[in-house]
Chains A and B, each alone.
Chain A
Amino acid sequence: MTILDKFAHLRATYGSLQAMGQDPFSVRFDKVVSPNEAMLNGRRVILLGTNNYLGLTFDESCIASAVEAVREAGTGTTGSRIANGTYGSHAELERRLADFYGRRSAMVFTTGYQANLGILSTVAGPDDHILIDADSHASIYDGCRLGSAKVTRFRHNDPDDLARRLRRMKDLPGNKLIVVEGIYSMLGDAAPLKEFVEVKREWGGFLLVDEAHSMGVLGAKGRGLAEQVGVEADVDFIVGTFSKSLGAVGGYCVSDLPDFDVLRVACRPYMFTASLPPSVIASVTQALTRVEQDTGLRQRLAFNAHRLYHGLQREGFIVGPQPNPIVSIRLPSLETAITFWNALLESGVYLNLALPPATPDNFPLLRSSVSAAHTTEQIDQVISVFASIGRSLGVIEPEVVAAE
C-alpha cells in the first residue's frame, strides 16, 4: 500500500496509451522554431494544437519588449502583487486592459487558471449561487470548489435550461452568478450569449464570460464574443488569459463594478502567489498593442479557421458545430483516435488528443487550433494528411473518383 495506490486505474489507462506509440502526454519538442513549426525527434512538424491564435509568440516587437524589460528590470519580481510584486508596468498593463475593454478596472493574475480560481471563489460568498455551464473549463470548476457558494450546472449552451434553474431558485436569498465561456475549448463552439443575456435580464444576476479562446479572435476590435454579439454592457466580469492570443502566460479579469479593486485584498489566488515577471508583462503589453492595431491578424486567423473547418468537413469528418479557430474532429473509438494521432505525428502534424471524460459526449477528439501564422499551403497540407489517414483507418469513406 502506498499513498498513490488510488491512481492504479489511471496508471493502467495511461500505460495502455503509451503502448500504442508516442505518448501524447509527454511530447517533447527538440526546438520550437516559429509559431507554427517545431522540431520533434529530429523531424519538422507543423504545430496545429498550440492555441497560438495570432502567432504572436515570435513577434519581433513583442520579443524586443520582453528583452528590454528583462535587461532593465530583471528576471522576476520575487513577490506577490500586494507586496513587492507590482511594478509600474503591471499597473500600466491593467490600465491598458481596462481601456481595451472600455471598463473601469482590470486585475492581472499570474495565470488564467488563477484568474478563474480567484474571481469565482471570492466574488460569490456562502449565501450566493453560481450557475455554470456543464462543459466549463477545469479552472471554473476548481474556482467553484475553492469558494463557498452553492454551485449548479446547467446543460451546455442551453439558455432554457439556465432559465429553468434560475426560476427554481428565484426565492432563494443571495446573488446569482452565471458563468459561460466565449468559445469552448473542446469543440470550438461559441456560447449563445445573446440568449443567455436575455435570461439574465429576465431573472436577474451577474454574468461572467471567460473569453480565454475568444479574446483576439472574435469581435471587430478583438474583445471577444461579448463584443461580437453586442452585449458587452450586460457582462459584469470578463476573464481572459495571456497564454493564447497574446502568446505568453498570465490571466486577467475586467469589470465595471465600482468596488472591484477591493478584490485585490480579498482574493487569495491573487494575493498568495508571485506576480508575473517584467518580461512577460512587457511582451503582453506589446501583444495587446498588436491586437489593437493589426486587424489583419484576425482576418488571417478567420480565413485559416474556415479553410480547415470546411476542408475537413468536405472530406467527411465530423467537425464541431461552428467554424472557429478550434477545429475538432470526432472519432469513433479510443483506439482509432490514438492511432490517428500517432499517424498525424508520423506525417509531420502535431495537434491535441482529447480523451473522455474531458470531452463532450464521451467521444475522443483530435483537436486542432488554427493560427494566423499558418500559411494557406500548411492548412491544405494538413487537410490532405487528415484525409489520407482518415481513409486508411476507415474513419471517412474511400475517395470517390469524381468526374472533372
Chain B
Amino acid sequence: MNELDTIAAEIIKAINALPQVQQSVTQDTNIARDLGLDSLAVMNFVMTLEDQFDVSISMDKLADIKTVRDLADAIAELKRHQTGT
C-alpha cells in the first residue's frame, strides 16, 4: 500500500466507527452526501482525524473535500508540509 492508501484505510476505519454509519465505505464515498452527515458532524469527525494524523485542516480546505480520497489527499499533503516541525 502506498501512503495515500494507508491514510485512506485509517479514515475508512474511523468512519466505520461512527455510530451513524451503516453502509460500506470506499475511497470514492462522498463523506457528507453518502453518509448523511451534516456539516457540523463532518467538522467534528475531521477533528478526531486531525489528532490521529497530527495535522490541522483549515475550514476552507475542508470545504473542497468531498470524498474519502480527497480527505486522504489533503492529509497526506499536510503531513508532507508539517512533518519535522
Task: Give residues in A with beta carbon < 8 Å to B.
Answer: 129, 134, 144, 150-153, 155, 164-165, 167-171, 357
A144 to B41, CA, bound (A): 19
Which of B2-10, B23-31, B55-63, B67-75 lines the interface with chain A?
A: B55-63
Given A171-B85, A357-B38, the answer on whether A155 and B58 have CB atoms closer than 8 Å is: no
Report the interface size class on chain B. 10 to 19
Task: Give residues in B with beta carbon < 8 Å to A.
Answer: 38, 40-41, 43-44, 47, 51, 54-61, 82, 85
B38 touches A152 (CB 8 A): no
Chain B residues with CB under 8 A of A357:
38, 40-41
A164 touches B85 (CB 8 A): no
Chain B residues with CB under 8 A of A151:
58-60
B85 touches A170 (CB 8 A): yes
Further contacts, 18 of them, CB under 8 A, given A150-B60, A168-B82: A134-B43, A134-B47, A144-B59, A150-B58, A150-B59, A150-B61, A151-B59, A152-B56, A152-B57, A153-B59, A164-B51, A164-B54, A165-B56, A167-B85, A168-B55, A170-B85, A357-B40, A357-B41
Chain B residues with CB under 8 A of A129:
58
Residue of A nearest to B78 (CB): A168
A168 to B60, CA, bound (A): 17
Residue of A nearest to B61 (CB): A150
Closest Cβ of chain A to B77, distance in Å, is 14
A168 touches B59 (CB 8 A): no
Please name the 10 residue pairs, one residue from A and one from B, whose CB atoms are nearest each other, closest first.
A150-B58, A151-B59, A357-B40, A168-B56, A171-B85, A152-B56, A165-B56, A152-B58, A168-B82, A151-B58
30 contacts between A and B (CB under 8 A): A129-B58, A134-B43, A134-B44, A134-B47, A144-B59, A150-B59, A150-B60, A151-B58, A151-B59, A152-B56, A152-B57, A152-B58, A152-B59, A153-B43, A153-B59, A155-B47, A164-B51, A164-B54, A165-B56, A167-B85, A168-B54, A168-B55, A168-B56, A168-B82, A168-B85, A170-B85, A171-B85, A357-B38, A357-B40, A357-B41
Residue of A nearest to B82 (CB): A168
B55 touches A153 (CB 8 A): no
A229 to B18, CA, bound (A): 38
A155 to B56, CA, bound (A): 12
Chain B residues with CB under 8 A of A153:
43, 47, 59
A151 to B58, CA, bound (A): 5
A152 to B85, CA, bound (A): 18
Residue of B nearest to A141 (CB): B59
A170 to B85, CA, bound (A): 8
Residue of A nearest to B55 (CB): A168
Chain A residues with CB under 8 A of B85:
167-168, 170-171
A164 to B82, CA, bound (A): 13
Report which residue of B38, B47, B59 has the largest number of chain A beta carbons within 10 angstroms of its beta carbon. B59
Chain A residues with CB under 8 A of B51:
164
Chain B residues with CB under 8 A of A152:
56-59
Residue of A nearest to B85 (CB): A171
Closest Cβ of chain B to A130, distance in Å, is 9
Closest Cβ of chain B to A358, distance in Å, is 9
Residue of A nearest to B41 (CB): A357
Closest Cβ of chain A to B60, distance in Å, is 6
